[in-house]
Amino acid sequence: MNFRTSVGHRLFLLVACQTAIAALLVLTAMRATSQLRSHYRHMYDFQLLSIAATADAMKEAATLETGARSPELEAFYRRYRADWETASGTAPDAIRFRKDLIDAGESDMARLESEVLADFKRSLQSGDAQNIREDLAALYTVNVKYADFENQNAMKRIANGRAWLLTIGIAGVAVTLFLGLHVRRAIAPRIRRLVTSVGRFQEFGKHERICDTGKDDIAVLANALDAGFSAIETREHDREKFLSIAAHELKTPLTSIQGYASLLVTHPPPVSDIYRALEIINRQSWRLSRLIEALFLALRARSGALRFEPSPFNMSELVRRVLREMEPFLSKRTFSSRIEENVSILGDEALLEHALWSLLTCASAYSPENTSVQVAFYAVQHCATLTVDISGSDVSLPEVQELFMPFRSVEYETGRGIRSAIGLYLCREIVRVHNGSLLVQQVSEERPEFVMELPA
């Protein structure tokens, strides 16, 4: 089974990936900015301030005389040891900077600082002004080297951060491009097939199955289009068949009428033949009228504008009359009826007459030759029920049920051997406007029957 991730999941994955990449870029940029801010704060608090304080101490030492003590220089020494010493300082900045020096292999600078501070302490204790000035100059040089090292280290971290941002950006663009191409490759060809199929159907009216066997949204759409186009194509075929049958149905009685009328005009026959010709003309005219009226009713039923004019009438008598009138039009078939007397309903007698003609004609079309169609009509608890047995036929229940669809029909043979066709769509619509029901049910394995129920 071919399984495809849904289009929604693909697009969600693409958007999620883009969002994750954007979030990662933002976090990386924030981290780089935070590190940069930390470096510059460290350079200011740990290097620049120590350089400035050392410079001030050098000014103070410039006027110092040998043997004299300077409280300012002693205070500078204590502050330097507490805040700025790298070699043995315990402040967080000192510990971090000392680690950077060790990692970079520059631990000699810290050792030099330690030696200078020790010598500076001895010079302060002895009051040797010249050594104090030399020690402060050496300490100043060490701190300048510290500042230069920290600046280079900061530049490296900035370059690394920039490289990380560039790497993440390039990787993000590559991943997004890959996912985008993957989504496009998975979607675009199938969309083009759908568009091509729709275009061909619009242009030629022919449907070629798309046959998308996936389980995603596009496959669902493709299968829906397949089903829809197939239904439209089938409906169009049925409509063309219906129009062909309708044209044939109208042409047959019209040809008979025209032929006998022309015979009467051009070659006056004997009186006995005149009556026969007039009888045929009358019967075919009546049939033609019924066909035209049935077509109009079917069109009104399709548009939902079926005119319904109810009035009380004897339904039992209508069933008998229709059975009696149908006998001349059927070939080698008869009806065997059981009709309950005086069952009256409220309905449109003309519409129900059309419905009975259609229903009984279909039943006779399905019944074998030289067999009787069993018809029963009775009323039970305010419900008038007509059952028409079509036993003995080899037709399946689904085939009969298809007759209730528009433009579906079954062929039958009239009394003179002429092939004709009839459907049950109009019949069902007529029963429906009477608030009744019409269905076909399987009474036994070889005995389907029509059941029409109307309020009585």
Q: Which residue has the higher pLDDT, 429 or 286?
A: 429
Query: Does the structure show a pLDDT above 60 at 418?
Result: no
From CA 408, how far away is CA 411, in angstroms rounded? 10
From CA 18, how far away is CA 23, in angstroms rounded? 9
Whether 356 and 300 map to the same domain: the answer is no
What's the whole-number mean pLDDT along residues 226-239? 70
pLDDT confidence of residue 103 = 84
DSSP-assigned letters across all residues of 237-299: HHHHHHHHHHHHHHHHHHHHHHHHHHHHHHS---HHHHHHHHHHHHHHHHHHHHHHHHHHHHH
Whether 121 and 226 map to the same domain: the answer is no
Domain-located, residue 203: no
How many domains, in total, are found in the chain?
3
Q: Which positions ≥6 away from 39 have C-beta within 8 Å?
A: 150, 153, 154, 157
Could you say which of 166, 181, 196 is where a domain stops?
181
What's the whole-number mean pLDDT along residues 146-165? 83
Query: Which range, 11-15, 300-304, 316-320, 333-337, is most confident?
Result: 316-320
Residue 268's DSSP bridge partners are none
pLDDT one-digit tens code per residue, 362-396: 888 887 777 788 899 999 988 999 999 876 666 77
- How far from chain centre, in Å, is Cα 110? 70
Burial of 1 (0-12, 13-18, 19+ CB in 10 A): exposed
Could you identify the residue written with the tokens 């079917």?
298
Residues 395, 326 contacting (CB under 8 angstroms)? no
pLDDT confidence of residue 387 = 94
Whether 39 and 96 map to the same domain: the answer is yes
Domain-located, residue 190: no
Q: Which residue has the higher pLDDT, 289 or 324?
A: 324
Query: Which range, 119-123, 136-140, 146-150, 450-454, is most confident?
Result: 450-454
With residue 405 as reference, give the H or E element that holds it: none
CATH of the domain at 273: 1.10.287.130
pLDDT confidence of residue 271 = 64
Residues 140, 55 contacting (CB under 8 angstroms)? yes
pLDDT confidence of residue 247 = 58
Q: Which residue has the higher pLDDT, 189 or 243?
A: 189
Q: Left if phi > 0, otherwise alpha if psi is -120 to 50, otherwise beta: which for 171?
A: alpha
Instruction: With CA atoms as reference, report the closest residue to 28 among 175, 158, 153, 174.
Output: 158
pLDDT confidence of residue 421 = 47
Which pTM was predicted?
0.46
The token pair that represents 374 in the structure block: 């069993």
Q: Which domain holds residue 288?
A: 211-305
Domain-located, residue 45: yes
